Structure 1
């Protein structure tokens, strides 16, 4: 069976360069690429941003190495390059061998070692010049997908707390917290940690064993119901005045 190691690893390397572009888009907070001038300016930013391939992308790379026939042959090729033995799971025509003597543990160990060699090989081939070349050859074709990504990211960054009457704000936010529709910072905004700790102290809580943050994790709804710092009116003022929310009639509070 013909298998081109260089082509396969080049494809993985291109996916890494693509990932780096998305990382820079996130970090630089790119706006939609909606004109030639904007696209050209972003290309310059990308080309002038130093890029490195560190261990932070090991998991990403391993996920790109397939756990199927292609992944097997990719690992076989790196094994040959490193003069390592490899399990024979396919015959010379590429047909699976029905009975093999390799245990699951041995296979996982071999795959892990070969993945490490592939990552090392990719690290040696990754370069700033390679990244720039990838941009020159591929960035224009990525514009539509990047715009979709930026649009999706912007929508996710918009926080809406919907209500019609102001007195609905507190129960609405509590519900959103319990459904994980807002991040955990709202828990600490809403819950009076000192009051919670005082109650626990009354029941002789041993704080080095079980503290107020453990209680929050175990019984969040109880904490929200019984230790809220604010009523709906106070919460409205806090969110608008101190946390960047705006009131939009018939929608509620919105932060973008």
Structure 2
């Protein structure tokens, strides 16, 4: 073999994440095992930021990998690199679980004597998985530059000054870009929850509902959707559900 050192076995070239992800999409589950072995330790280190309990860290890592696999099998999920998608999913999971735990502490009922308070309810498990898949799919909808700034600022906690040289803009420019990206992610997250409509008259409004509910459309376009929702019972139902989900998000920035 040209270039090989005599007496040394040829080095095996490991498959890329992209190749393994394609294999998983084709039904090769062992390929996901290779991805797990490759990224499990960084995921465990990331989990330590959120939980001090080994059991909770293990649950976060396991659930993160499970949700990414579900997203891939559902036709979404990462295409080239697993780790950014995985860690964003884990971060969303950790925040969601912390918020739910806080709500339980504030509003939870006193359990009946003998009731099992440790086992998660089925609806909670389904909701967790659904939310994580939505967030991951929403992240993939964003422009590459927005994904990059969100990854570095939200996941790796990089400062605007650190990112300025990477992106070739000023720290103030990084801060402004991150602000737009975060709002874009919220809009994309909501848009992922909007079902398609078979009615031609509904499609245009449905395709922009995530941005509309956040107040991100022009006055003219917003009024058109307002009018359509007022006249369409189906879209009015979708808009009401979307408004509930939007109520759990940070309010949109006020126009200057």
- TM-score calculated relative to the size of structure 1: 0.21
- TM-score calculated relative to the size of structure 2: 0.21
Larger RCO (CA within 8 A; separation ≥ 6): 1
- Structure having the higher strand fraction is 1
